[in-house]
Copies of this chain bind each other. A is one copy, B any other.
């Protein structure tokens, strides 16, 4: 069994749902501190390691420590794959990043930084990257960044933005034996849900890669008790936003989608938004990564911190192990071939 597979399994076995990354951060930090010539900094549940030579450029490898909620105990280590919560998104790539760090300075043509950060899978305001930037933005300085999100070892360019909106529909309470005295807020869900379900994904091609927007109802909650006509229901909607427009513009379109069903007292509010980032396929390091990958690049459909690095002035791209279509599935997995391929391509990139 490869070191990469064993390390991935070790990381999957350490639960790290958003906000509970401490144990995994401890594990990663300990490995990095054992590497000579690396400057390691701990900021909360984030870990940053940097080579300290004098080469002219610096490449950042970055990845998040957290997973979505789920059953972390169902991990399974096979001869050629790891199955379990976070295996694909993105503990396989974290293992690759750490294994590259264990070879730090061997034959690198560039300075290298590694950033392992917390709380990527929840509201952006809690992001570990923002926490690091608030403490010391120099920790994130680099000429280019590779976000090691799962891409199946294909360069995924840019990223779509994402916004979360909360729709609150009101009603009036009454005894359920006399519902004509009230107004059922849950029954009012039908039309907005129909509008969301009927949403036609919007596709946009930029720099030869195609972004596809999506709209999904993701959370619903309403009601008082079993014999009361409910006076409120809350529906959370997630809209993905292509990089040809801002989340503000997309929110206006989403609001228009449900506006016809809003009455006095109802509300539609954007509670979280993260801007998209344009592809950076002309950047020389990114072009080199595309070449090393041996595959045509494609658009990143999910939100990633490529956009955060872009906001810090660092061009960034997504490249990592694991099939992106497996992310957030109960039985997500990553295989040894993909881990080895990711390790090889990134190693070649760092060796120049």
Contacts and interface: CB of A to CB of B under 8 A. Distances in A.
Interface of A: 68-69, 89, 121-123, 160, 162, 164, 173-179, 181-182, 184, 186-187, 189-190, 193-194, 196-197, 214, 216-230, 233, 235-236, 238, 240, 272, 301-303, 324-325, 327-330
A268 to B, nearest CB: 16
Nearest to A17: B225
A301 B230 CA distance: 18
Contacts of A221: 220-223
Contacts of A190: 190, 193-194, 197
B222 A219 contact: yes
Contacts of A227: 68, 121, 162, 218, 238, 302-303, 328
B187 A217 contact: yes
A234 to B, nearest CB: 10
Contacts of A121: 225, 227
Given A174-B328, A186-B193, A219-B226, 14 more contacts: A122-B225, A162-B177, A164-B226, A175-B327, A177-B240, A177-B302, A181-B329, A186-B218, A218-B225, A218-B228, A220-B220, A221-B223, A227-B302, A228-B328
A189 B187 contact: no
B217 A184 contact: yes
Contacts of A214: 176-179
B216 A329 contact: no
A176 to B, nearest CB: 5
Contact of A178 (B187, B197, B229, B325): B325
Contacts of A219: 186, 222-226, 230
A349 to B, nearest CB: 26
4 shortest interchain CB distances as A-B pairs: A219-B223, A177-B302, A177-B301, A186-B217
Contacts of A330: 173
A236 B176 CA distance: 12
